[in-house]
Structure 1
Amino acid sequence: MATMTKAFEQAARRYGVPESVLLAVSYMESRWDCNGGEPSTAAGFGPMHLTDGATLRTSRHHHIDGDEDPRGDDSRPALRPAEPVERRGGLPASLHTLERAAELTGESVERLRKDPAANIDGGAALLADYQRALGAPASADPADWYGAVARYSGATAEEVAANFADEVYEVIHEGATRMTDTGTEVRLPPSPEVYPSRAWLARLNLPRLARADAVECPGSLSCEWIPAPYSQLPNGKYGNHDIADRPTSQTIQYIVIHDTEELYAKTLDLVQDPAEMSWHYTLRSHDGHLAQHVLTKDVAWHAGNWYVNAKAIGLEHEGFLAAGGTWYTEAMYRTSAKLVRYLADRFGVPLDRAHILGHDNVPSLLPEKVQKMHEDPGPYWDWAHFFDLMGAPLRPDGDSGTATVMILPDYDRTRPHYIGCDNDHPAADCPAHGSASIWLHTEPREEAPLVKDIGKHPTDQSTFSVYDHAARAVTGQRYVVAERRDDWTAIWYLGQKAWFHNPESGPVAVPSRARMATPRPGLDSVPVYGRAYPEAAAYPPDVEVQPLIPLQYTFAAGQSYTVGLTTVGEFYKATTFDTTQHRVVRGTQEYHQIQFGHRIMFVRSEDVVVTGA
């Protein structure tokens, strides 16, 4: 096989596409990775992301699939989402580019999926085909290819296509160099002198989006308003979110990253159903398009924990944790990073993993609900790259003697063993793929059992399932070092020592300063909670006191966990359609948020001593 660099050169020459355009489009789709011929979460294959929608094996939306109550408020009956009525047609044209590439190149569909050079040829052939269809010249000037690049996005609205093309030309301006997953370095030299001819966009005859005044998005992004309903339902019920007045009434403390486990169109059907759940934004995979559904001042029902929901903004990303795709597109990463940065700046949310959470990092409210909590976006979400795009790179900030570490594996080179990516063969190995997670063992050896999560697995052991995070730590999370032995490091994790291989020649965790919580002297152990609710005395007579029920874990004397934030107890009572009955209860009970396992949890400040950083 030709090297990646040679493949781009040859394809550009063969189809008359400027090499910088071909390279930049590929970077926007896959960052030049081949992903072993496995599909993206949008059914795209190879470095050019040629799509074959027939390969998608959709499950139900992740809020429907499982027992988690997305609202997570035990002061009212659990929300049990049902399968929504499907109102939309077949797969969009953007999910059928592989077939057209096969026609243009004469290559088989299978070869276009698996062979990187053939795939790059297919992408070049599509760009040339789009250029001809526009009546544009087969120019050597990258500036003349703006219309073809916009069409490559598969977008059905002018602003969305333009946003994709603008991102591609930003890559051309800035250049890029990267070691791909095939071990080949690919380089695109910067070309700041290229100014695209945007007039070609009009030839696509795409409709324009009506940008509603309500949308809260960066001006540089294509963003539309598709509102989630606030409607009264029979039997005193209502949906599908709660009206609030954030950040005046409550600070926004978290941004929660989800994946949909469903296609974009069906996800929109769900969020527009008043009897279902909600979230604030949905991002489309193939072009990075963004839709807002709930105002940021209001509380959406998405995280499975009412305390977190009341203080969070939820983002759903079109995609699949594993079954249906194993990688997310660069277009969606870039849109998401710009949106999160915008929201973080606006609401003062720190850009770290104590505040930018995956759904899989949100704790359960109560012991009996731990097993029902969701696992998305999963180990294939590239947190390090995401933070790089936000301009907040995850980097070491300590030395070899620092008592705390941050998990920071090399995503492309870290390829843990997972099973369960194929729903029909749940015991089969997943394809080898980069990962943001590492496995944690009971002893410093690879064959040692995985550590146990007594909440997720009360009667059995942790597994290597891609959906089982019971014994995993993920990029950006900070932990306290419990012991070091040769090339192995142990951290405190769910009340036990958890070991991982961490050689100096290829570390997966780096020194990182953080505050540490330890049980106050004289206490054998302290309770940990899934919510930071006020003390009983803080509740007014018309608001039922929410009990402080600890989770089933043990935070024992001698153990320490990193502190991500300190807060006072709050509870948002919003159980009626009539918003005049809503109340924010704020107490004086102080809590520390700790990284106790894969998920965050809370301890009362009087139970611990906090030191460091």
Structure 2
Amino acid sequence: MSRSTSRTLLIAAVAAGLAAGMSTAAASPGTAPPTTRQGAYAAAAEEFGVPESVLLGVSYLESRWDTNAGLPSTSAGYGPMHLTDVVAANSGGTHHDDGTEDPRGDTARPMLPPSPGEQDFSAPSLRTVDVAADLIDVDAAVLRSDPVQNIRGGAALLAEYQSALGVDSDAPGDWYGAVARYSGAADTASARTFANEVFTTIAQGVSRVTDDGHRVSLPATPVDLDTAQLADLGLRATDTSETECPADLGCEWIPAPYEAFGDGDYGNHDKANRPESQKIKYIIIHDTEGSYATTLRLVQDPTYVSWQYTLRSADGHIAQHVKAKDVAWHAGNWYVNAKSIGLEHEGFAANGAWYTEAMYRTSSKLVRYLAEKYGIPLDRQHILGHDNVPGTIPSTVRGMHWDPGPYWDWAHYFELLEAPFRSTGTHRTGLVTIRPDYATNKPAFTGCDGAGVPCEPHGSGTVVLRTEPRDDAPQLTDIGLRPDGSPGTMHISDHSSRGETGQTFAIAERRGQWVAVWYLGQKGWLKSSDAVWSVGFVATPKKGRESIPVYGRAYPEASAYPPGIPPQAVTPLQYTLSAGQKYAVGLVAPSEYYRAVTYDPTNHTVVRGEMTYLQIQFGHRVAFVNVDDVDVRLSFS
């Protein structure tokens, strides 16, 4: 049976049921809509003949049953069922077009200006709201904003997919194919991964309170899966042969080109031999601000930039493009690029405010795998957002990118990584780790849909720092972002005065319910309820030093460079780290420079120096200090 025929028959069946007086949720005249979210799932499941556990499991993997105040996800999905509407979501460009950041971040080479071209929004998975609207005869705008109708639309889609398979069963495991189809995946491996994750959630059970206050529960339900249905979906096979990924994720190999252009130019990454040549110390979390299809086109363009992995939003599917041993061009800082793996997460809606649970889950599984393989600690000193990567020299600070932004839920992500942020100290141990309640912490950002326009309130892991212990005090000043010395603003991308969940700062002072931390050479105040007490090591200028330099990269001293390799300048950033200030130490950073400016990788060299740096949490971004310039001690000493 064709998809269009099954849709017509389903609409006819629903119409016949209404004519016969069938009870429906918010559809039958005179029938009151469900008053609880749990009731909405139960009613929609009954109306469309979908097992309630299946409907709940699919919705949880998309949205965790949240409404997100009617805002779209970063990939244009709306409501608990993540019905997509790419037109309504006001798609934007890619984050690599915004600002002046050179993705390579290597001043030894000419700047690489990406040219992304047009977005590709052709994927049917980006317009599921239209199909759902036809199925239940409800306007698409209502489906985007009304949770009850959104759940009905998702249930109708599942029922259509089940009908197309010709399976008539109430057993949840017999809906395996429909669930796999709901993922929007075009390949068997990613459809299987999504369906397996849904049914794992059903088998384990889950209960939580949604962002708008509804308690929803999915009781643990053993399921006997009919996985053979995958063969009936007509999906393509997946090339997993070259991927470095957990086997159960079904990662796809879509290689980025390593191609010479002539005149010594080439793209779009550098060959290396990590971790033998250099240790991999970082995993960098990005948001593409482009559709999955556009992102794949770009990473296969030898004149563009690169990253190791791309993750699709609706189903969490992962494609790998660059081997971990090689250096991708993604973070805007060559020192970090040379020691990191980059993950791009699909997202393109300019006003998108949330990420799908499916993508959080596959991303966290991939990061756990990579962290274990390369010995990367699961903390916010090694798992960085692109917005935490420092500029290389003073002139590059302002142009650095700010993704994945303040709506990425770092607390939930680290729970999935099995490394949650917990208190490790007391108010006397000298450090705090930022940890607001994501759901209730809703900073009044502006600029999501035009300069100065207030963003719709939404949960966030960001805490705004103040110059004094009061809510209406001015923000701090980041002279790298705002050279005129003006204070930070609430514009969505202005992180002049913001701490992010998981970041650890040294305590400067306490007053009542407020605590001040050292931040960019200033005292920044936040409420102690937005953080947990921590303990660790801090760096402070050596005794007798009025101030010390702060760096954006940990490059060797000039004498370390062999003949024929020009020394890279050890240039301080524009900030001041003064006597009496303390900053949390994240890791020891050896001085290294990966010289890779030729297509022939036999000419690539790792230069190592005698200098050693410490990475510190200096502001919203990390920074480096020379170990010879600081005293290091326990945070409570």
Verify same fold: TM over 0.5: yes
Moved over 4 A (4+): none
Matches within 5 A, 1:37-76: 37-76=70-109
Partner of 1:194, secondary structure, is coil
- Quote the Cα distance in structure 2 between the aligned partners of 1:399 and 1:105: 55
- Quote the Cα distance in structure 2 between the aligned partners of 1:121 and 1:582: 58
Question: Of 48, 54, 66, which residue of structure 2 is paired with 1:33?
Answer: 66
Residue number in structure 2 paired with 1:494:
520
Aligned 8 A contact 2:539 2:582 in 1: yes
Say what the alpha-carbon RMSD is for the aligned residues: 1.3
Runs of 5+ unmatched residues, structure 1: none
Structure 1 range deviating more: 392-401 or 343-352: 392-401
Aligned pairs, how many?
601
Partner of 2:463, secondary structure, is strand
- Quote the Cα distance in structure 2 between the aligned partners of 1:516 and 1:216: 36
Q: Deviations over 1:514-537 (max 9, x none)?
A: 211111111101110001111122
Partner of 2:247, secondary structure, is coil
Q: How far is the alpha carbon of 1:89 from its aligned partner?
A: 6.0
- 2:562 maps to 1:540: yes
- Quote the Cα distance in structure 1 between the aligned partners of 2:135 and 2:105: 51
Partner of 1:553, secondary structure, is coil
Q: How far is the alpha carbon of 1:52 from its aligned partner?
A: 1.2
- Quote the Cα distance in structure 2 between the aligned partners of 1:149 and 1:269: 28
- Quote the Cα distance in structure 2 between the aligned partners of 1:143 and 1:580: 54
Residue number in structure 1 paired with 2:286:
258
Q: How far is the alpha carbon of 1:570 from its aligned partner?
A: 0.4
Structure 1 range deviating more: 49-58 or 602-611: 49-58
- Quote the Cα distance in structure 1 between the aligned partners of 2:335 and 2:90: 34
Q: How far is the alpha carbon of 1:578 from its aligned partner?
A: 1.7
- 2:338 maps to 1:310: yes
Residue number in structure 1 paired with 2:27:
none
- 2:365 maps to 1:334: no
Structure 1 range deviating more: 460-469 or 559-568: 460-469
Residue number in structure 1 paired with 2:223:
194
Q: How far is the alpha carbon of 1:107 from its aligned partner?
A: 2.1
Q: Deviations over 1:525-565 (max 9, x none)?
A: 11100011111221111211111110011100110000000
Partner of 2:201, secondary structure, is helix
Q: Deviations over 1:322-377 (max 9, x none)?
A: 61411111111111101111110000000000000000000011001110100000
- Quote the Cα distance in structure 2 between the aligned partners of 1:15 and 1:59: 36
- 2:187 maps to 1:157: yes
Q: How far is the alpha carbon of 1:34 from its aligned partner?
A: 0.1
Structure 1 range deviating more: 89-98 or 526-535: 89-98
- 2:139 maps to 1:108: yes
Structure 1 range deviating more: 95-104 or 438-447: 95-104
Residue number in structure 1 paired with 2:236:
207
Matches within 5 A, 1:335-484: 335-422=362-449, 425-459=450-484, 460-484=486-510
Matches within 5 A, 1:195-274: 195-212=224-241, 214-274=242-302
- 2:350 maps to 1:323: yes
Residue number in structure 1 paired with 2:24:
none
- 2:552 maps to 1:527: no
- Quote the Cα distance in structure 2 between the aligned partners of 1:30 and 1:346: 30
Residue number in structure 1 paired with 2:51:
18
- Quote the Cα distance in structure 1 between the aligned partners of 2:123 and 2:351: 16
- Quote the Cα distance in structure 2 between the aligned partners of 1:546 and 1:479: 30
- Quote the Cα distance in structure 2 between the aligned partners of 1:246 and 1:210: 24
Residue number in structure 2 paired with 1:131:
162
Aligned 8 A contact 1:478 1:514 in 2: no
TM-score by length of 2: 0.93
- Quote the Cα distance in structure 2 between the aligned partners of 1:345 and 1:109: 44
Partner of 2:447, secondary structure, is coil
Runs of 5+ unmatched residues, structure 2: 1-33
AA in 2 matched with 1:160: S
Residue number in structure 2 paired with 1:602:
624
- Quote the Cα distance in structure 2 between the aligned partners of 1:500 and 1:159: 46
Aligned 8 A contact 2:86 2:121 in 1: no
Partner of 1:442, secondary structure, is coil
% identical equivalent positions: 57
- 2:617 maps to 1:588: no
Q: How far is the alpha carbon of 1:90 from its aligned partner?
A: 4.7
Q: How far is the alpha carbon of 1:58 from its aligned partner?
A: 2.7
- Quote the Cα distance in structure 1 between the aligned partners of 2:112 and 2:53: 50
- Quote the Cα distance in structure 1 between the aligned partners of 2:203 and 2:447: 41
Residue number in structure 1 paired with 2:35:
2
- Quote the Cα distance in structure 1 between the aligned partners of 2:596 and 2:121: 38
- 2:175 maps to 1:148: no
- Quote the Cα distance in structure 1 between the aligned partners of 2:538 and 2:148: 50
Q: How far is the alpha carbon of 1:263 from its aligned partner?
A: 0.6
Aligned 8 A contact 1:405 1:481 in 2: yes
Aligned 8 A contact 1:43 1:324 in 2: no
Partner of 2:432, secondary structure, is strand
- Quote the Cα distance in structure 1 between the aligned partners of 2:139 and 2:77: 16
